[in-house]
Amino acid sequence: MKLFLDSAMTDEIAHALDMWDMDGLTTNPRHVMVSGKPFRTVIAEIAELVKGTDKPVSVEVNPHFTGCDEIVGQGRELAALSPNFVIKVGACEGGFKAIRELAKDGVRTNATLIMSVAQAWHAARAGAYFVSPFLGWKDQFGDSSDSLIGDVRAMLDKFGYKTEIIAAAVRNARQIGDVAIAGAHCVTAGAAVYLDSFRNPYTVHGESIFQSSWDQTPEA
């Protein structure tokens, strides 16, 4: 399973690329807003950080765009800015048609805000390169995301679609393992979730036992 960082903070991205060897990046309008920089500025900076690699960077079209033509127009324009860019398109009727049109041009897309197998089906059938089921957003409102990744994976495999799943809106370290087992091709999470996934209180406890033992062992 590939590990993507979900962020538009360039210092955080640079650290994650260097220290954690991320396989790719995802952004969204909220991450761009948090960066405090204009959309075009921040995506240009991110493109520079991955230049010369094959790491995909998902950049989202204007979320006000729900019609096929406007999504395709901006999607083509953004895709021309960097070979790393994958165009994020919201799951909606016009979005699925736009995914189909962009695929004809060879533009890779990431169908975002996927909440159901049916939406993932429409995206895969339209030729989406990635689908992003949003686990945390379902859980937040009392729905369950427990089976979504496994169900989408079963659907893709059953019908032979090459679309890859990015498990998105992942909120804790446990979910990274869960989505891997469920068959996600990729997971995207924030830096804080990855940091939590590296450590465990029992490991820290174990280290302190070993350190104490080391210190009490007589020297030669």
Q: Nearest Cα to 117, choosing from 96, 133, 129? A: 133
> How does DSSP assign 56-111, residue by residue?
-EEEEPPTT--SHHHHHHHHHHHHTT-TTEEEEEESSHHHHHHHHHHHHTT--EEE
Q: Token pair for residue 205? A: 């406890």
Q: Is 55 a catalytic residue?
A: no
Among 184, 188, 194, 197, binds ligand E4P (CB under 6 A): 188
Cα Rg of the chain, angstroms: 19
Footprint on residues 52-111 left by ligand E4P (CB under 6 A): 58
**Closer residue to ligand E4P, CB minimum distance, 58 or 163:** 58
Which residues, 6 or more positions from 117, have their beta carbon under 8 angstroms from its beta carbon? 148, 151, 152, 155
CB of 30 to ligand E4P, least distance (A): 5
Q: Nearest Cα to 152, choosing from 124, 117, 128, 193? A: 117
145 touches 133 (CB < 8 A): yes
Candidate segments 25-33, 117-125, 177-185, 194-202, binder of ligand E4P by CB under 6 A? 25-33
Asked whether position 30 contacts ligand E4P by CB under 6 A, the answer is yes
Classify the C-alpha dihedral 192-170-165-31 as positive or negative.
Answer: negative
Footprint on residues 112-131 left by ligand E4P (CB under 6 A): 112
Among 35, 109, 119, 132, binds ligand E4P (CB under 6 A): 132
**Closer residue to ligand E4P, CB minimum distance, 33 or 203:** 33
Asked whether position 145 contacts ligand E4P by CB under 6 A, the answer is no
Q: Token pair for residue 72? A: 């395709």
**Closer residue to ligand E4P, CB minimum distance, 175 or 188:** 188
Asked whether position 23 contacts ligand E4P by CB under 6 A, the answer is no
Asked whether position 163 contacts ligand E4P by CB under 6 A, the answer is no
Catalytic residue among 51, 88, 104, 138: 88
- Which residues are part of the catalytic machinery? 88
What are the residues binding ligand E4P (CB under 6 A)? 6, 26, 28, 30, 58, 112, 132, 134, 136, 168-169, 188
